[in-house]
Amino acid sequence: MVRKFLFRYRKILGEGGYYCRKKEKLLSFLTQTVHIQLTGYKESVYSKLMSKEIFKVDFHGVRGSIPRPLLGEEIEEKLIRAFQRARPENLVNKNSIKSFVKGLPHEIRGTFGGNSSCVSMQVGSKLLIFDAGSGIRVLGESLMKTGFNRGEGKANLFFSHTHWDHILGIPFFAPFYIEGNQFTLHSPLPDIKKRLEGQQKPKYFPVPFCDYASSIDFVVLKDKREHKIGNAVITWKEQYHPGKCFAYRVDYKGRSVVYATDSEYKKQESKNFKSTVDFFRDADLLIFDSMYTLTKSLAEKEGWGHSTAFTGIDLAVKANVKQIAFFHHEPTHNDFKLVDILHQTKKHLEKVAPKQSLKMFLSYEGLSVNLLSPSPK
């Protein structure tokens, strides 16, 4: 079926036609053959065909507490380190320079990012968004290149909590201003609507929450601890963080992602630690708050409601997690400091569980993690 579709697709568009150049002809074929409605003039047919098989996580904001732009001296240090690695043959022409730059470590050629928390998940045909820090502005710009720009978009937003760094991006989320778009906002907090409206009172922001042109509904997640959106099952768990905070778990087609930001885990023997291990159990991807170093967590900031990469490893090992993405990076840590912490954390894993097959990495803005194979099954 898929081969037949792709063969006919090439005949309609020509060998170089990845995007729709003969829209009407293709739309007719898609509607009759695979019952997919084309909604964006620059959306690939392959993505449409495979939409029911997608489970993809995208990172748009990964910093904690406050947005953090790169400083001039940090950019200068990156340039110095890049030139130190360069050889004459790397600088011959534009292509050789481009190839050289692409081969540099991420902390030199790019940045882990400065926007505060926002993660999106494409789960089948459903778009789930977790938190609305400044990173949601970037997500909004991307969505405005699709049907959201024409008022044809639908999405579900989930809030871990309502501290500023997790909601401050809402007024800058462009799809909210487009009539026809439909959003459902979810939270276990019964007053979530009041909280979000509060940050857009005239004394804080010039545009009130009620001025958005899109349709915005609220769902308060009750004690049943399970919620379905399409074929995705969402569960949640309260974590230790001042003012209340919730972790979310998304299960879909035998795969699972846990979004666990802004939480502090006390002694491993505690009831909270054990219940957290159960919540993380066998997750394919754990997005984990690793804001502090162990020294700061124990000596300076105990009770502030954040965790460490070492604690994340301890939890992931006990819960048999497959991958852990360190998240909610400390704003005073530059890219090189973050990499240094990652190296220390890898040594910690070698000590506590040398045989454990656990992939760890630093989350960064623009990172995508695919949890289902993109190829047809």
Three-state secondary structure call for residue 365: coil
| Type of residue found at 75 | I
* pLDDT computed for residue 350 by the predictor: 93
Quick one: pLDDT at residue 300?
73
Q: How many CB atoms lie within 10 A of CB 148?
A: 24
**90 and 138 in one domain?**
no
Q: 375 in a domain, yes or no?
A: no
Q: Is 322 within the bounds of a domain?
A: yes
Question: CB of 62 within 8 A of CB of 374?
Answer: no
Which parts of the chain register pLDDT below 70?
1-52, 224, 266-271, 295-299, 303-305, 373-377
Same domain, 192 and 252: yes
Helix (H) or strand (E) segment spanning residue 289? strand 285-289
Shared-domain flag, residues 150 and 241: yes
Q: Is residue 155 included in any domain, yes or no?
A: yes
Same-domain check for residues 101 and 37: no
Q: Are residues 220 and 78 in the same domain?
A: no
Taking the CB of residue 323, how many other CB atoms lie within 10 A of it? 17
Residue 143 and residue 80 share a domain = no
pLDDT at residue number 87? 96
Cα–Cα distance, 297 to 341 (Å, whole number): 14
Task: Look up tokens 């940050």; give the residue.
Answer: 199
14 in a structural domain: yes
- Alpha carbons 23 and 28: distance in angstroms, whole number: 9
Is 377 contained in some domain? no
How many C-beta neighbours within 10 Å does residue 83 have? 10
One DSSP character per residue, 14-74 reads -TT--S-SSHHHHHHHHHHHT------TTS-HHHHHTGGG-EEEEEEE-B-SS--PPPHHH
Q: What is the pLDDT of residue 301?
A: 73
The reply to whether 175 falls in a domain is yes
Domain total in the chain:
3
Q: Are residues 203 and 227 in the same domain?
A: yes
The backbone region for 35, taken as left when phi is positive above 0, alpha when psi lies in -120 to 50, beta otherwise, is: left
Asked if 305 and 271 sit in the same domain, the reply is yes
Asked if 167 and 204 touch (Cβ cutoff 8 Å), the reply is no
How far, in Å, CA of 190 to CA of 218, rounded?
10
Are 118 and 243 part of one and the same domain? yes
- Asked if 26 and 86 sit in the same domain, the reply is no
Alpha-carbon gap, residue 269 to 315, rounded angstroms: 12
The parent domain of residue 102 ranges over 72-109
Same domain, 150 and 16: no
Helix, strand, coil tally for the chain in percent (to 5): 35, 20, 40
Maximum CA extent, the chain: 66
Please tell me the predicted confidence (pLDDT) of residue 3: 40
Q: What is the CATH number of the domain that holds 165?
A: 3.60.15.10
- On whether residue 7 sits in a domain, the answer given is yes
Does 10 share its domain with 103?
Answer: no
Residue 306 lies in a domain: yes
Residue written as token pair 């501290």: 163
